[in-house]
Structure 1
Amino acid sequence: MYDSVLVPTDGSARSLAAARRAIDIADTYDATIRVLSVIDSSDLGLWTAADVPVERVQASLRDAAEMAVEEIASLADDADIPCETAVRIGVPHREILDYADEVGADLVVMATHGRTGLEHAILGSTTERVVRLSEVPVLTVRE
């Protein structure tokens, strides 16, 4: 049923909960886990002070993203599940959808942040956008 399961991660505990669910699914269906972390391109401008080189900010964000995907890759390895990792820079929901298409993902398993009301309306939701726009099923996991 599932050959390729995509797990987007931001390195949070919520993402780890989703990854554990994805690993269980991959184990059941003998699937490969694809782990993606997206560095939000809009974050680069927000965190860059005039005296801090953009390259340093990018390197810091990339290091955090690499750690996030490697943590899940380690969990997959412990479960003897094949795993591939990727880090991208861009608009998170677009990069997730593009990557799902590129790797032929059959399922996307991702965390929700549980925001409601005004906070949800202002901040939006990457997960919600992926759910609305994905051509493959999306399983959302609350921590």
Structure 2
Amino acid sequence: MYDTVFVPTDGSARSRAAARRAIDLASAYGAAIHVLAVVDVGDLGLWTAADVPVERVRTSLRDAAEMAVEEVASLAGDAGVDCETEIRIGVPYREILDAVAEADADLVVMATQGRTGLEHAILGSTTERVVRLAEVPVLTVRE
């Protein structure tokens, strides 16, 4: 039924809970998982050279993304599930949708909540956009 289960992660407890569910599903169906962390270009724009060297911010955000995907890969390895990891820079929902298509994923498993507050109210969440626009089923997981 599933060959590739796609897991977006930001390293949060919520996304780890979703990753665990994805790993359980992949294990049950003999599927692999594809894990993606997106460095949000919006986060890069919050900093200026006057605040802190921009390259240092990019490196820090990329390091956090690498830690997030490596954590999920470790969980998958412990469960005996094949795992591929990827990091992209861009607008999260767009990068997720593009990567889902490129990975030929059968299912997306992601947390119900990411950012909240004013940005959520104005723009809508990444999860909501992926649910609306994905061409494959999306399983949302509460922490």
Structure 1 length-normalised TM: 0.93
SS in 2 for 1:140: strand
Partner residue, 1:11:
11
Q: Closer, same or farther in 2 for the Cα pair 1:21/1:38, shift >3 Å?
A: same
What corresponds to 2:142 in structure 1?
142
- The Cα of 1:115 is off from its aligned counterpart by 7.7
The Cα offsets for residues 44-91 of structure 1, whole Å up to 9 and x where unpaired, read as 010334252211110000000000000000000000000000000000
Distance in 2 between residues matched to 1:94 and 1:115, nearest whole Å: 16
Using the TM superposition, give the Cα deviation of residue 121 of structure 1 relative to its aligned residue in structure 2, in angstroms: 1.6
**What letter corresponds to residue 95 of structure 2 in structure 1?**
E
- For 1:107 and 1:7, how far apart are their aligned partners in 2? 9
CA distance in 2 between counterparts of 1:119 and 1:55 reads: 25
Q: Give the 4+ runs in structure 1 shifted more than 6 A.
A: 114-119
What is the deviation of 1:33? 0.6
The SS at the match of 1:46 is coil
2:123 aligned with 1:126: no
Note the residue ranges of structure 2 that are not aligned, 5 or more in a row.
none
1:38 match: 38
Question: Percent of aligned pairs with the same residue?
Answer: 79
In structure 1, distance between residues paired with 2:118 and 2:56: 33
Change (3 A) 1:25 1:13: same
Q: Does the CA-based 8 Å contact 1:48-1:57 persist in structure 2?
A: no
TM-score of the superposition, structure 2-length normalised?
0.93
Structure 1: how far apart are the matches of 2:87 and 2:54? 18
